[in-house]
Amino acid sequence: MSALISPPAPSGAVGRLLRSRLAAALATPHTVDRYLERFNPMWAAHEVRARIVSVHRETAGQDTAPVATLTLQPTSTWRGHRAGQHVLVGVELPGSAKRLTRAFSISSAASAPGEQITLTIRAHDEGQVSSYLVREAQPGTILHLSQAQGEFTLVESPATPTNNHLLFITGGSGITPAMSMVRTLLRDGYDGRAGRKVTFLHFARSPEDQIFAEELAGIAAADNDVTVHLRHGDQVFSEFELRRLVPDHRNTDTWLCGPAGLVDLVRDAYTDGEGELSPRLRMEFFKPAVARTAQPGETVEGEVSFTRSGKSAAATGASLLEQAEELGLKPEFGCRMGICFSCTRTKTAGTVRNVLTGEESSLPDEEIRICVTSAAGDCHIDL
Amino acid sequence: MTATVTEHDEKYHGLTAEQIEKLGEELDAIRQRVIADLGETDAAYLRKVVTTQRKLEIAGRALFYLPVVGWVPAVACLSVSKILDNMEIGHNVMHGQYDFLGDPAFNSRMFDWDTVCPGEQWKYSHNYIHHTFTNIVGKDRDVGYGILRMDPEQKWHPYYLGNPLYAFLLMTFFEWGVALHDLEVENIVSGKRKLADNKPLYPGLMRKIRKQALKDYVLFPALTGPLFPLTFAGNAVANLVRNVWAFNIIFCGHFPAGVASFSEEETENETRGHWYLRQMLGSANIKGSKLMHVMSGNLSHQIEHHLFPDLPARRYPEIAGEVQEICERYGLPYNTGRLSQQLFSVFRKIVRYSFPGGTAKVSPVRGPGSVTEDSLAA
């Protein structure tokens, strides 16, 4: 069954019926979606899935990672998004059939329920999901989505009765949520005549690596009171320059999204003499702390953090279950030999080793059996 | 049964500690190889089975609208659907066999099956208790399900004269037996467990029973209007067919003649190799066609399942030859037979142990003499 010619997801009366308590009771112990998905991946009563409509190459990425914009048609269950929000995207990688889930910002303007959205993604070298989506994904591919989430959103709109100056500071692919905000403002009729300025300051590695270059040039050239400052290569962020562009930046609503280095510099610029960070600065970054992996045979170095309980200890090579118990935690367990899955927990970040197979893994948000898993570097366990 | 497993020179089921360790390594290697090969074919297979099951279920529910001619095919479709849901899908998914896919629909922590036993509770008594303490009398509650006497080590009592009757009732109401299994009623009677220990289990159990009963005995029959009694009866028969089939497959997996049981003392300080050995000696297979394997959730390969409970069950047939070959090399039994043979063997046991005494038929372990260094090096 081709997803391209499939009928639209059931909505209206059919949708209401499928979401009813009667339908849920008839489908028990499974959910209605577990039946619908067998017949058409774009039919859903509760979950959100999306079909890739088109893939547009943004940068060629000769020296750096390529970037592409994916246009997605979500199922009718999509509730829409506010500018600046992100979605979790689940992808079944060909060859392994494993579904991996990652967060990506939405780059298109705020959407209404069921409306198309775009994701603009950079193919990171180690990122299996981003590489697949940028390099291999084809129109027609079905992705699993979450509803939009995140509070890094635009509160202003052309209709908002304020004359706040808005400032966006972004680096690399951190431009996407800010782009969604600017696109939303312009689409909804923002023209600068209300006396509100928008300043967009963006850092890219090189002019070739600049995403949305043409559109940004268009926005900058138009008479709309949006000023765009693009900085490339060695032109790193400086407080001096920021003060020149936006003298009262600490009292300006600012959205910051970019790599760790940029975030650190901007944070310093928004911290006053007494060490107080300006409440006007909003930040977003997705990348979890990168953990170092122990080489085979090397003694494990790293810290095991049980994030829910707030306890941590140096990795000893013992199983994570034993390490948790040594710290006085009482996680659920069963067989203690990896067969019963009672002790399954989520590793949110870091590197672990399966003691049965010796296999190491650094995937974020991975389910692991803590009785047969040990730390192979820093790691965070949801326990 | 006096051998202690810690002493090196003493043999355990005909093997030295060293040989048992080697056995474990060989089995670990098989496991490794299969894990490294898991991927799209396993996902595609599971999805195909699920799609077939969903279609059969929908067809079954729909056929009840055709009075007279539709009833028998409706019951047939629904019975097969429930069997697939419980065995090839539910049992296996809830073992974590498909957790590697990362698909919440097939995640062991989220899946629940079409029986009155809540998946959550079953996973404790089955995945943990039964699969960890397989055939250890006094620990593995699947030995007789707390109702039957299936082993000479279980002390006889006049109550057990009803063994065949209890077995028949357990077969008929199998899903209810499985659901109530976690309440450990026999341990409460004997004072090993307090009634209060069951309190946390009641809400989940009641919720599941209510949902299952509402669906099969109220809503779907009501939706067929005047055909309510026929649909009601059809759903009950489908549940019954599933119960009878599941009971028989499961009893053939652990109770035919020649399957060994173990005591708590001899299994103290077990190594991984010993655990593997116990799984091999404590399980039995059923020979049959591919259809028979699918319909049994590949539990017809109970030996392979007990060695590798978290590997996708569809892989068991492909490794069965190797496991059997290992058994032969180590002089161990590989208990297998046709369904009729295994069923008869189980039936005989149920009847025999309703009376006092009975001896554990010594498993045909060929013993140390037949296992040579040469054969192990093969």
Max Cα distance, chain B (Å): 74
Domain range for A35 is 12-46
Between helix A32-39 and helix B40-63 the angle, nearest 10°, is 110
Q: Which two tokens stand for residue A4?
A: 């391209």
Residues of chain A with pLDDT under 50: 1-8, 288-294
Type of residue found at A206: S
In contact, B322 and B308? CB cutoff 8 Å:
no
What are the tens digits of pLDDT across the range B6-50?
A: 444 578 888 999 999 999 999 999 999 999 999 999 999 999 999
Q: How far is B32 from chain A (nearest CA, A)?
A: 7
Residues of A in contact with B124 (CB under 8 A): 334, 342
Give the H/E segment covering residue A166. strand A166-171
Q: Is A313 within a domain?
A: yes
Q: Which two tokens stand for residue A35?
A: 């039946």
Residue A168 is given by DSSP the state E
Q: Which two tokens stand for residue B355?
A: 């009376």
Q: Within an 8 Å CB–CB cutoff, is residue A25 touching chain B? A: yes
Type of residue found at A33: D
Q: Which two tokens stand for residue B325?
A: 């070959």
Residues of B in contact with A356 (CB under 8 A): 28, 31
**Of B46, B99, B89, B73, nearest to B246 (Cα)?**
B89
Residues A182 and A131 in one domain: no
Query: Are A340 and B43 inside 8 Å of each other by CB?
Result: no
Count CB atoms within 10 A of the CB of residue B138: 15
In contact, B208 and B121? CB cutoff 8 Å:
no
Residues A74 and A123 in one domain: yes
Residues A33 and A54 in one domain: no
**Of B80, B88, B117, nearest to B241 (Cα)?**
B80
Domain count, chain A: 4
Q: What is the C-alpha to C-alpha distance for residues A7 and A9, in angstroms, rounded to an integer?
A: 7
Q: What is the C-alpha to C-alpha distance for residues B117 and A136, in angstroms, rounded to an integer?
A: 44
Distances (CA, A) of B241 to A26, A219, B75, B76: 21, 69, 9, 9
Q: Is A4 within a domain?
A: no
Q: What is the C-alpha to C-alpha distance for residues A258 and A205, in angstroms, rounded to an integer?
A: 12
Q: What is the C-alpha to C-alpha distance for residues B24 and B47, in angstroms, rounded to an integer?
A: 33
What are the tens digits of pLDDT across the range B287-317?
A: 999 999 999 999 999 999 999 999 999 999 9
Among B40, B96, B113, select the one facing A96 at the smallest CB separation: B40
Query: Are B40 and A29 inside 8 Å of each other by CB?
Result: no
Which of A284, A316, A343 is the last residue before a domain boundary? A284
Residues A319 and A352 in one domain: yes
- Give the alpha-carbon dihedral of A308, A314, A320, A322, to 10 degrees: -110
Q: Is A192 within a domain?
A: yes
Q: What is the C-alpha to C-alpha distance for residues A174 and A204, in angstroms, rounded to an integer?
A: 10
Q: Is A70 within a domain?
A: yes
Q: Is A309 within a domain?
A: yes
**Of A324, A302, A288, A299, nearest to A377 (Cα)?**
A302
Distances (CA, A) of B7 to B3, B4, B331: 8, 6, 20
Residues A141 and A244 in one domain: no
Please give the angle made by the CA atoms of B231, B236 and B237, to the nearest 5 degrees: 95
Count CB atoms within 10 A of the CB of residue B191: 7
Residues of A in contact with B211 (CB under 8 A): 25, 28-29
CA dihedral (A107, A199, A284, A185) positive or negative: negative
Start-to-end CA span in chain B (Å): 30
Give the H/E segment covering residue B34. helix B17-37
Q: What is the ipTM of this complex?
A: 0.89
Residues A76 and A37 in one domain: no
Residues ≥6 apart with Cβ < 8 Å to A329: A306, A309, A311, A383
Q: What is the C-alpha to C-alpha distance for residues B220 and B235, in angstroms, rounded to an integer?
A: 9
Question: Per-residue b/e over B283-321, b at no fewer than 16 CB within 10 Å?
Answer: bbbbeeeeeebbbbbbbbbbbbbbbbbbbbbbbbeebbe
Residues of chain B with pLDDT under 50: 1-8, 368-369, 375-378
Report the CATH number at residue A59.
Answer: 2.40.30.10
Residues of A in contact with B99 (CB under 8 A): 341, 344, 367
Spans of all domains in chain B: 37-356
Please give the angle made by the CA atoms of A176, A178 and A179, to the nearest 5 degrees: 60
Sheet with A166-171: strands ordered across:
A226-232, A198-204, A166-171, A253-257, A281-284
φ, ψ for residue B154 (rounded to 5)?
A: -75, 125
Among B102, B113, B215, select the one facing A99 at the smallest CB separation: B102
Residue B133 is given by DSSP the state S
Tell me what pLDDT residue A291 has: 45
Q: Is A270 within a domain?
A: yes
Q: What is the C-alpha to C-alpha distance for residues B230 and A19, in angstroms, rounded to an integer?
A: 28
Tell me what pLDDT residue A95 has: 85
Q: How far is A206 from chain B (nearest CA, A)?
A: 37
Q: Is A72 within a domain?
A: yes
Residues A274 and A188 in one domain: yes
Query: Are B272 and A337 inside 8 Å of each other by CB?
Result: yes
Q: Is A3 within a domain?
A: no
Residues A56 and A39 in one domain: no
Give the H/E segment covering residue B234. helix B228-254
What are the tens digits of pLDDT across the range B322-331?
A: 999 999 999 9
Type of residue found at B5: V
Distances (CA, A) of A286 to B158, B245, B291: 68, 51, 48
Q: Which two tokens stand for residue A267?
A: 């944070």
Interface of A with B in 29-58 (CB under 8 A): 29-30, 34-35, 37-38
Residues of A in contact with B32 (CB under 8 A): 357
Three-state secondary-structure class, residue A53: strand
Residue in B with minimal Cα distance to A332: B124
Interface of A with B in 185-214 (CB under 8 A): none
